[in-house]
Amino acid sequence: MEYDFDNYLAEIPENSLKYDAIKATDSSDIYKFLSMGVADMSFKPPIDVLNALENEMNRGFLGYYGGIESYRKEVVNWLEKKHNWKPKPQWINTAHGLVAAIGTVLRAFTNQNDGIIIFSPVYHQFRNIIKANNRELIESEMIKENGTYYLDLDNLENKIKGNEKVVILCSPHNPSGRLWSEHELKDIAYFCKKHDLILIIDEIHNDLVNPENKHITFPKIGENFYENYILMTSTTKTFNIAGGLMGNVIIPNNSLRDKFKKANFATGETPNRFGMILGEVAMRSGHKWLDDLLKYLKKNKDIFDKEIKSIKCLSSMRIDSTYLAWVDFSKTGESENTNYKKLINHAKIISKRGSIFGLGGYNHFRFNLATSTNLVKESTERLRSVFK
């Protein structure tokens, strides 16, 4: 490996969500905490990305961004190379992050109190942005079978009331790392077609897949299957540049795209200069970093998995993608609140508690494993000593 991730760690600065999470513990010994809640990595981005930022600083130009065509070209190349799908450059719109983009889509295509469907437990900001836009949150709880989540479309079918307008699918799935099969993606497409729903597919974790696994990007199921989809991708998770707040909203359908563009324009969106530059450089020259990273993450996940398996009252889901571990604490016999307190006060580990991910999330905790292997090991030792 070219990148030695054990020694390629960024400092946690005071103006970061990770630091805020540590401060929120109100503890006096903040240096003892492992901050494994927020989903950004402990690693520096590829060296070319850091150099590009330095270059910008040296030139001293911090003005508005322009020249988006070269960025779009890199997105097309990236998706073709990594996901075997080649969008047209003009299908690609930019956004100030994908959560913001979801909000824009909701306002563009739905009205207040329209129903928005999500498959819970799922990335907590889906619920937040739906509620903040005064849409009706419709949670379709997934079925957990042999430690794997499955969509329950039959049950959802029975609950359809008629006000549903949009479905949001997280693919790969946060928090479980589940990769959806072609069959499952087709089932969702059929479902959306039947009920005339717009499908948002959030593929922000699309590149963070174990070397032996495969993510299927939604458009690969075939164009005639379903046209009314909005695909969201980004380089920010892949290359740990989430502070660059940018993302891609890819819409092949012309009328859908026009409508989104108008709504995006209405937000005053213009591309974030730094995010765009960092993203473009990363896609052009971050391949080696990403290959090495995926191997390193796999090692961390295997270690975490093995250690958690040996703690009787905890069970961790198999992690096929992402760098997030989703651990079920229900066999501890304690409430989520008590377990959360134990994690903070005794294990000194910050995680994300499951209930914020919606139905089915209660008493699970999500741990970010994108940190040094030593700290991952340390986290399992602390979990063992508190929850053995």
Ligand X SMILES: Cc1ncc(COP(=O)(O)O)c(C=O)c1O
Tell me which residues touch ligand X (CB under 6 A): 39, 97-99, 123, 170, 174, 202, 204, 234, 236, 242, 247
Closest residue to ligand X, based on beta-carbon distance: 97
Residue with smaller CB distance to ligand X, 244 or 348: 244
- Residue whose CB is less far from ligand X, 200 or 311: 200
Shortest Cβ distance from residue 170 to ligand X (Å)?
5
Give 198 or 232: the residue with its C-beta nearer to ligand X. Answer: 232
Q: How far is the CB of 247 from ligand X (least distance, A)?
A: 5
- Closer CB to ligand X, residue 123 or residue 218? 123
Residues 379 and 366: their CA atoms lie apart, in Å, by 13
CB closer to ligand X, 198 vs 200: 200
**How many residues does this entry show for the chain?**
388
For residue 202, the minimal CB distance to ligand X (Å) is: 5
- Shortest distance (Å) from residue 26 CB to ligand X: 25
Class of residue 211 by CB neighbours under 10 A (exposed 0-12, middle 13-18, buried 19+): exposed
Handedness of CA 15, 17, 19, 21 (dihedral sign): positive
Q: How far is the CB of 302 from ligand X (least distance, A)?
A: 22
Q: Provide, rounded to whole angstroms, the least separation between the CB of residue 235 and ligand X.
A: 10
Pick from 106, 97, 150: nearest CA to 276: 97
What residues have CB less than 8 Å from 326, skipping those under 6 apart? 175, 176, 177, 316, 317, 319, 354, 364, 365, 366
Q: In this structure, what are the phi and psi dihedrals at residue 55, rounded to the nearest 5 degrees?
A: -55, -45
| Residue (74 or 307) nearer to ligand X, CB | 74
Structure tokens at 278: 């960092």
The CA distance from 5 to 102, in Å, is 33
Q: Radius of gyration (Cα) for the chain, nearest Å? A: 21
Cα gap 361→359, rounded to integer Å: 5
